Structure 1
Amino acid sequence: MNIKKVLFYMIISALAFTLMNVSVKQLQHYSVYQIVFFRGFGSFILTMAILKRLKIPILGNNRKLLVLRAIVGTSSMTLFFMSLKYLSAGTAVSLRYLAPIFSAVFAIFILKEKIKPVQWLFFIISFIGVLTLKGLDSNLDNTGLLLVFGAAVLSGLVYIIISKIGKSDHPIVIVNYFMFTATIFGGVLAIPYWQNPIGVDWMFFLTLGIFGFIGQLYMTKAFQIASNNLVAPFKYLEVLFTGLIGFMWLGEVYTIWSLVGIILIILGLVMNVLYKARDKRYTL
């Protein structure tokens, strides 16, 4: 296993997702459904091309679960994009990464998994981070907070659905269902609010699907050559990159309390990942 290669893949993935988030922030004067449409359509073209090249059946095997994953994933993505209208990019990304906590709670009831007491401690640390953001950062918007919490809850449910699908369907098939659903959902709902992109906005729209796909591709590559427990902590590079670019490019302001809150959120989640890495009975 090449650690340098894992780090390279995850840096590329985090940068791609960061640039996608920044593009969404630049398109806030358009309908969120139009943004979802372009995000889905760009990636859908790429996933269809790959499926055709690899001669993989498009419809897959667990069709009901694939459709459910696509609907829940599209809903989560839409809520997250909506939240970016109200929150700084770094804060929104940090709060969205609470998804593993909600996934763990869903797993108790759906997958009958158990959570050890020390893991609840790690989750509490992350929630203290949320409370720090909400209670001590006056710049945090309540509407944005509710939207990104909804996105995190649904994203947590997506993890459970993917676990239920297991290895019976190719990852590209799963993503293809997701992107097709996002394209149809965003395209139909965007019709009453459609605005023809002007100038540089075309570039931001056209790169949404490309950056999203690159992020998924390189993250998948990293998970293919290393254990989940090693790769997972690197996912939080997206928070760092998004915060830095938001500060330098978008002129976003982060208070001391917002930074403390973000650090606590990520600290609790990373500690949980590292703890699970010590226990070989768990797989992220």
Structure 2
Amino acid sequence: MLKRAIQYMVISALAFTLLNVFVKSLNSFNVYQIVFFRSLGSLFFTLPFLLKNKISLLGNKRGLLVMRSVFGLISMTLFFLSLKYIAMGTAVSIRYIAPIFAAFFALLFLKEKVKPIQWLFFGIAFLGVLILKGFDAKLQFDEGIIFALISALFAGLVYITIRKIGNEDHPVVVVNYFMIISTVIGGLLAINGWVNPIGKEWLVLMSLGVFGYFAQLYMTKAMQVGETNVIAPFKYLEVIFTIIIGLIWFKEVYTLWSLIGILLIILGLTLNITIKKVKK
């Protein structure tokens, strides 16, 4: 079971990586058009699933479903925007500090307890962000760091909202809401700056939803068949895969300080996952 879970997580990491790479390559398209196609592509999977299994599209916790979708839309849009300014590995690493914001919001709104040592691990991860910001001379645009940080903040709100929804709604209903709202809003905002895709660009744009869907699907499968504290750290393979492809494909450059920052982020969050699941 462990081997299968790891295989699922590797597939998920690769799918997320390819999503990042294709988003990065679509420089001639505005971020809203990219959001539109990424969301539209996933609807080809979520809608048929819900209809086939006769699951209500409207769901039960409708207010929370809309809220989760809006938070997710903002997070996704800002993350895609950050990819236009900074190296992919840096953007992905910063996005992964979302659990820090989630822990803070859970403490504030859900009254959940956070172990003191978890704050230490969060501190290690956030130190990595500060090192990325302060010492990476290749970060020419502060906007990229800011966009990635705010994206992580809203991702933290997504986690809390999903926790509030709990088991009241099917996971695919939650994703379907997100994709429908993102498709509609992304499409409307993309109208003014719309660029007609040419040739292979259609394939690349439509593939965004495919990679996004399967990345989420296999990550869920991995969590279902393996223990979270053992499997979850493997999701950070996305950072490694993204850095490697960024170096080869986009000729991105990472300084020693930026690599140290990324390592600290992964280390802090991995330690947090381990201690949170082992000591309850």
Give TM-score, length-normalised by structure 1: 0.96
1:16 aligns with 2:21: no
Residue number in structure 2 paired with 1:101? 100
Cα distance in 1 for partners of 2:6, 2:226 equals: 10
Shift of 1:13: 0.5
- Find the residue that maps to 1:193 and give its secondary structure: coil
Contact 1:133 1:261 in 2 (8 A): yes
Note the C-alpha offset of 1:134.
1.0
Residue in structure 2 matched with residue 74 of structure 1 by the alignment: 73
Shift of 1:237: 1.1
Displacement after TM superposition at 1:254 (Å): 0.8
**In the TM superposition, what whole-angstrom CA distance separates every residue of 1:212-232 from its partner, at most 9, and x where no partner exists?**
001011111111212322221
Matches within 5 A, 1:23-172: 23-140=22-139, 141-172=141-172
CA displacement at 1:277 relative to structure 2: 2.1
Name the amino acid aligned to 1:135.
G
Residue 251 (structure 1) aligns with: 251
Letter of the 1:136 partner, please give it: F
What is the CA distance between 1:177 and its match in structure 2?
A: 0.3
Structure 2 unaligned regions, length at least 5: none
**1:26–1:204 CA contact under 8 A, matched in 2:** no
Distance 1:94 1:137 in 2: 14
SS at match of 2:163: helix
Cα distance in 2 for residues equivalent to 1:126 and 1:29: 33
* Paired residues of 2:2 and 2:225 also in contact (CA < 8 A): no
**SS in structure 1 at match of 2:167:** coil
1:185, 1:146 → 2: CA distance?
Answer: 22
Partner Cα separation in structure 1 for residue 56 and residue 126 of structure 2 = 42
Question: Which digits, 9 at most, give the CA deviation of each residue in 1:109-157, with x for residues without a partner?
Answer: 1110121211111011111111111111111221001101110000001
Preserved contact between residue 230 and residue 277 of structure 1 (Cα < 8 Å): no
Q: 1:45 and 1:180 mapped to 2: Cα distance?
A: 11
Measure the CA separation in 2 of the matches of 1:72 and 1:242: 24
CA distance in 1, matches of 2:204, 2:246: 16
Which runs of 4 or more aligned residues in structure 1 lie more than 6 Å from their structure 2 counterparts after TM superposition? none
Q: Match of 1:143, SS?
A: helix
Residue 192 of structure 1: SS of its match in structure 2?
Answer: coil
Q: Which sits farther off after the overlay, 149-158 or 128-137?
A: 128-137
Q: Which whole-Å CA distance do the structure 2 matches of 1:84 and 1:96 have between them? A: 11
When the two chains are superposed, the root-mean-square deviation of aligned CA atoms in Å is: 0.9
Q: Distance in 1 between matches of 2:156 and 2:106?
A: 9
Matched with 1:240 is 240
My pick for the range that moved more, 94-103 or 199-208, is 199-208
Aligned twin of 2:210: 210
Preserved CA contact (<8 Å) 2:71 2:158? yes
Q: CA deviation at 1:200?
A: 2.4
- Distance in 1, matches of 2:231 and 2:173, equals 22
- How far apart are the structure 2 equivalents of 1:28 and 1:43? 21
Match of 1:223 in 2: 223
Higher mean C-alpha displacement, 199-208 vs 172-181 = 199-208
Identity of aligned residues (%): 57
Q: Summarize the alignment of residues 259-270 of structure 1 with structure 2, pairs less than 5 Å apart.
A: 259-270=259-270
List alignment gaps of at least 5 residues for structure 1. Answer: none
Aligned residues: 279
Letter in 1 for 2:113: K
Per-residue Cα deviation, 1:180-218 (whole angstroms, up to 9, x for no partner): 011001100000100111232222101100000010111
Instruction: Tell me the TM-score normalized by structure 2.
Output: 0.98
Q: Specify the code of the residue in structure 1 equivalent to 2:33.
A: Q
**Does residue 276 of structure 2 align to residue 276 of structure 1?**
yes
